[in-house]
Structure 1
Amino acid sequence: MHTSDRLSQDDFTYRLSGPDGYEKKCFSDLFPDYHPLDRTGIISPCLEDGILHAPSVILGLTTAFYDHLRALSEDFFNYPQHFAFIGGRHDKVNTGSGPMVLERDQIGEAWGSLDVWPGTNWIIHPARSENMLDQIYRYQINRIFWPASLRPDNVQEKLPPLVDRFLRNRLKSVWYYNPDDADVEILLSDTASHFVQESIDQLPPTIALDINASSGEPAGLVENRFRMVDPCEFLDDMGSCFNSG
């Protein structure tokens, strides 16, 4: 429970695009139907993608989860049901530096710093739209954070229509992260940004060095951008991943 007593919603600034530009919002404005038992999936085609471009929303949801537990008791042990679906195959994991053979702890330490834990919540799977949708279905995910750049391409194994039907009924929200047409911004305090930097530093050395050596702050360290999309619209966009029913 890395962040359980160190972050509050005061560490997050939520902004939603409106007619007059971005307007400050609160957590409940963006997640009006939040429940501590929500099952959240972060799709990360490369090991570091979600860590760089979606840590603010991961930590925001994690803080809401711990806020709920703190309201019930001062003594608790639990983690939110957050799952990292990481691109890879067999013994190799995709990274921005190319495929790497990594031990289990090397894969998950960075995600664990964002309280995506235990190791059963780090799922390695081919970074194709249809494969990731299949995992979302199998793990009964109801909130998705999906990279805007991951689109269906030459679908190899179409999913049965029942998967589409289940997802249309189960999904509560879908956000694309790092899009060109963002409508949500989340800014982190210095305290919250520290956890992101700690997560980056836990990545395999060659990846962390590349990120930390880049000009300015690492992408997503202070501010992340997203686009909210209706779950049915998202599934329509992914329509080529499904067999017609």
Structure 2
Amino acid sequence: MHTSDRLSQDDFTYRLSGPDGYEKKCFANLFPDYHPLDRTGIISPCLEDGILHAPSIILGLTTAFYDHLRALSDDFFNYPQHFAFIGGCHEKVNTGSGPMVLERDQIGEAWGCLDVWPGTNWIIHPARSENMLDQIYRYQINRVFWPASLRPDNVQEKLPPLVDRFLRNRLKSVWYYNPDDADVEILLSDTASHFVQESIDRLPPSIALDINASPGEPAGLVENRFRMVDPGEFLDDMGSCFNSY
């Protein structure tokens, strides 16, 4: 419970694009139907993708989870149901520096700093749209953070129609991360930024990170922008991954 007593929603500034530019919002504006038992999936085609481009929202949801527990008791032991779906296959994990054979701790240490834990929540799977959709279905995920760059391409094995139908009923929210047309940005306090920097520092040193950060600014935060999309629209975008009804 790395962050359980060190972050609050005051550490996050949520801004939503409006007609007059970005407007400050609160967590409840963006997640009006949040529940502490939500099952959140972060799709990370390379090990570092979600850590570099979506840590702010991971920590925001994690903080909401611990806010709920703190309101009930001062004594608790639990983790949010957050799952990292990391690209890889044949005992290798995808990274920006190419596929690597990594020990389990090397795969998950950085994710653990964001309270994506235990190790059963680090799932290695081929980084194809249809494969990741299948994992969302199998793990009964209802909130998805999906890289905007991951699109269906030459689908190799289409999913049955029932997967599409289940997902249309189960998904509560879908956000694309690191898009060109962002409508949400999240700014972090120094305390929250520290956790992100610690997570980045725990990535295997053999991964060459391409980060543009100002001096003194935690690397990767400049990329924490998102686009909210209706779950039905998201599944329409992924339509070629499913067999027809």
Task: Work out the CA distance in 2 between the residues paired with 1:175 and 1:225.
Answer: 10
Q: Deviations over 1:44-67 (max 9, x none)?
A: 000000000000000000000000
Name whichever of 218-227 and 110-119 sits farther off: 218-227
Task: Work out the CA distance in 2 between the residues paired with 1:22 and 1:42.
Answer: 25
Q: CA deviation at 1:126?
A: 0.2
Q: In the superposition, relative to structure 1, how do residues 67 and 208 fare at CA in structure 2: closer, same or farther (>3 Å)?
A: farther
Q: Residue 101 of structure 1 aligns to a residue in which SS?
A: coil
Task: Work out the CA distance in 1 between the residues paired with 2:56 and 2:167.
Answer: 25
Task: Work out the CA distance in 2 between the residues paired with 1:74 and 1:222.
Answer: 35
Name whichever of 208-217 and 171-180 sits farther off: 208-217
Q: CA deviation at 1:207?
A: 2.0
- Structure 2 residue 207 is the aligned partner of structure 1 residue 176: no
What is the aligned length?
245
- In structure 1, list runs of 5 or more residues that go unmatched: none
- In structure 2, list runs of 5 or more residues that go unmatched: none
Q: Is the Cα contact below 8 Å between 2:126 and 2:132 reproduced in 1?
A: yes
Task: Work out the CA distance in 2 between the residues paired with 1:208 and 1:120.
Answer: 26
Task: Work out the CA distance in 2 between the residues paired with 1:170 and 1:241.
Answer: 18
TM-align CA RMSD? 1.7
Q: Is the Cα contact below 8 Å between 1:189 and 1:222 reproduced in 2?
A: no
Q: Deviations over 1:105-148 (max 9, x none)?
A: 10000000000000000000000000000000000000000000
Q: Is the Cα contact below 8 Å between 2:213 and 2:220 reproduced in 1?
A: no
Name whichever of 164-173 and 205-214 sits farther off: 205-214
Q: Is the Cα contact below 8 Å between 1:188 and 1:223 reproduced in 2?
A: no
Q: 1:146 aligns to what?
A: 146
Name whichever of 215-224 and 88-97 sits farther off: 215-224
Task: Work out the CA distance in 2 between the residues paired with 1:129 and 1:159.
Answer: 11
Q: Is the Cα contact below 8 Å between 1:202 and 1:208 reproduced in 2?
A: no
Q: CA deviation at 1:221?
A: 2.3
Q: Is the Cα contact below 8 Å between 1:42 and 1:84 reproduced in 2?
A: yes
Q: CA deviation at 1:154?
A: 0.1
Q: Is the Cα contact below 8 Å between 2:3 and 2:114 reproduced in 1?
A: yes
Q: In the superposition, relative to structure 1, how do residues 72 and 172 fare at CA in structure 2: closer, same or farther (>3 Å)?
A: same
Q: CA deviation at 1:198?
A: 0.3
Superposition TM-score, scaled by structure 2 size? 0.96
Q: Residue 244 of structure 2 aligns to a residue in which SS?
A: coil
**Would you identify which runs of 4 or more consecutive aligned residues in structure 1 move more than 6 Å?**
212-216
Q: CA deviation at 1:224?
A: 1.0
Q: Percent identity?
A: 95
Q: Residue 2 of structure 1 aligns to a residue in which SS?
A: coil
Q: Is the Cα contact below 8 Å between 1:200 and 1:208 reproduced in 2?
A: no
Q: In the superposition, relative to structure 1, how do residues 175 and 73 fare at CA in structure 2: closer, same or farther (>3 Å)?
A: same
